[in-house]
Amino acid sequence: MASNEHISSAAAGRILRAAAAIFCVCTSVVAAQPQVAVTTDYVIGPQDVLTITSYDQADMSGKFTVEADGTFTFPMIGRVKAGGLTLRGLEAAIKTQLKDEGYFRNPQITVAVDTYKSQKVFIVGEVRTPGTYPLSGNMNLVEALARAGSTLPTASGEAVIVHAGENASGPTMPANDDTKDLVRVNLRELEKGAPTSNAALRDGDTVFVPRAQSIYVFGQVKNPGAYAMQQTDTTVLQALSLAGGVTDRGTTSRIKIVRIVNGDKKELKVKLTDLVLAGDTVIVSERFF
C-alpha cells in the first residue's frame, strides 16, 4: 500500500511539473505574439465603408458606406455626419445621439473601418506594382512598399516621399531638395530596421523610388556588364563583386577606371578601396604570367 502511495505521489509530482512547463511555454508564446495596434485616429472620408457594432441591439449592427457629403444613415437616428471625424469621434457622436433621444441609457457602440477608400497614396518608380493605393490607418513606408510588391533590383538606395496634400489627384514628383514637403529615406537603413526611417504617410502622399544609376565592369571579371549602383559609397571591390569577382586570369593590382570629367574621358589607376562614381567603367586587366 505504501508503495502504491509512493508511486501515486511521484506520478502526481511529474504531472505538476509537466503542467508548470506547459504553462510557461504557453505564457511565452502569448507574450511573443505581436500586439495589433487599433487605429483610432483615422479620419473618416467619403466612400469609406464602416463596420458599426451595437452591443445593445444586434440588428443595429452592420456595414455603412459614407456618402459623398460625408454622411450615412444609421438606424433610429437617421443621418449621421462622419466625414472629418476620427473613429472614436464618430463613436462618441452616435452614442450621444442615441442617449439624447432616449433609446439607451449608456449606448455601447464600436466603429471600425471595413474598407478604406477615401484616402490614398501614390507609389511610383522602381517598384513591382506602381499605382494608387488606399491609405489604411497608420500606413508607413514599409507597408506601402510591401503593397507595391517591394522595390526592383534596378532601384536606387532611397525613396522620396512628397507630401502634396489631401487634394492630390495624381502622383507628385519631387521638384527640388529645398521643399519642406519632401522627405528622403535611406532604404538600406530601413532594411536594417532603423525606426526613424520608417516614415508615416499622409493622404495624397507620393512615394517615389528612383532608378539607380549604373556602373560598368569589364575586363577579367566573371560577369561583365552594367550594374545598378544602389549606394553612393560603392567601392571598387564591391563593384567587382557585382560582376561575380575577378577571373583566374585577372589581377586586382592593375585596375583602372574610365571616368568622364567635364566631358573629357580620363583613365584612373585605382585600389580596391577607392570609391566608384555613377557612370564609371571599371576595367580589370589580365595578369602577367
Give the CATH number for residue 250: 3.10.560.10
Question: pLDDT tens digit string along 223-280?
Answer: 999 998 877 789 999 999 999 999 999 999 899 999 999 889 999 999 999 999 999 9
Domain assignment of residue 196, yes or no? yes
Do 55 and 130 reside in the same domain of the chain? no
Domain assignment of residue 40, yes or no? no
Instruction: Among 115, 146, 173, give the residue marking a domain's end.
Output: 115
Counting the structural domains of the chain, the total is 4
Do 198 and 168 reside in the same domain of the chain? yes
Domain assignment of residue 17, yes or no? yes
Domain assignment of residue 177, yes or no? yes
For the cut 90, the answer to whether the pLDDT of residue 22 exceeds it is no
Amino acid at site 120: K
pLDDT at 194: 78
Question: pLDDT tens digit string along 73-123?
Answer: 999 999 999 999 999 999 999 999 999 999 999 999 999 999 888 889 999
Do 59 and 26 reside in the same domain of the chain? no
For the cut 50, the answer to whether the pLDDT of residue 21 exceeds it is no
pLDDT at 6: 44
For the cut 70, the answer to whether the pLDDT of residue 30 exceeds it is no
Q: What is the mean pLDDT of residues 129-135?
A: 93
For the cut 60, the answer to whether the pLDDT of residue 2 exceeds it is no
In which band, very low, low, confident or very high, does the pLDDT at 180 lie, cut at 50, 70 and 90? low
pLDDT at 12: 46
Which pTM value belongs to this model? Answer: 0.65
Q: What is the mean pLDDT of residues 198-225?
A: 92
In which band, very low, low, confident or very high, does the pLDDT at 27 lie, cut at 50, 70 and 90? very low
pLDDT at 8: 47
Instruction: Among 209, 239, 258, give the residue marking a domain's end.
Output: 209
Do 150 and 191 reside in the same domain of the chain? yes
Instruction: Among 209, 236, 254, give the residue marking a domain's end.
Output: 209
For the cut 90, the answer to whether the pLDDT of residue 39 exceeds it is no
Mean pLDDT across the chain: 83
Residue in the structure block whose three cell numbers are 522595390: 151
Do 188 and 237 reside in the same domain of the chain? no
Least confident of 35-49, 141-155, 247-261: 35-49
Domain assignment of residue 240, yes or no? yes
Do 252 and 200 reside in the same domain of the chain? no
Do 138 and 186 reside in the same domain of the chain? yes
Q: Which domain holds residue 24?
A: 1-33
Do 187 and 219 reside in the same domain of the chain? no
Do 8 and 73 reside in the same domain of the chain? no
Residues 200, 193: Cα–Cα separation, whole Å = 15
Do 108 and 132 reside in the same domain of the chain? no
Domain assignment of residue 63, yes or no? yes
Domain assignment of residue 199, yes or no? yes
Give the CATH number for residue 58: 3.30.1950.10
Do 158 and 229 reside in the same domain of the chain? no
Domain assignment of residue 227, yes or no? yes
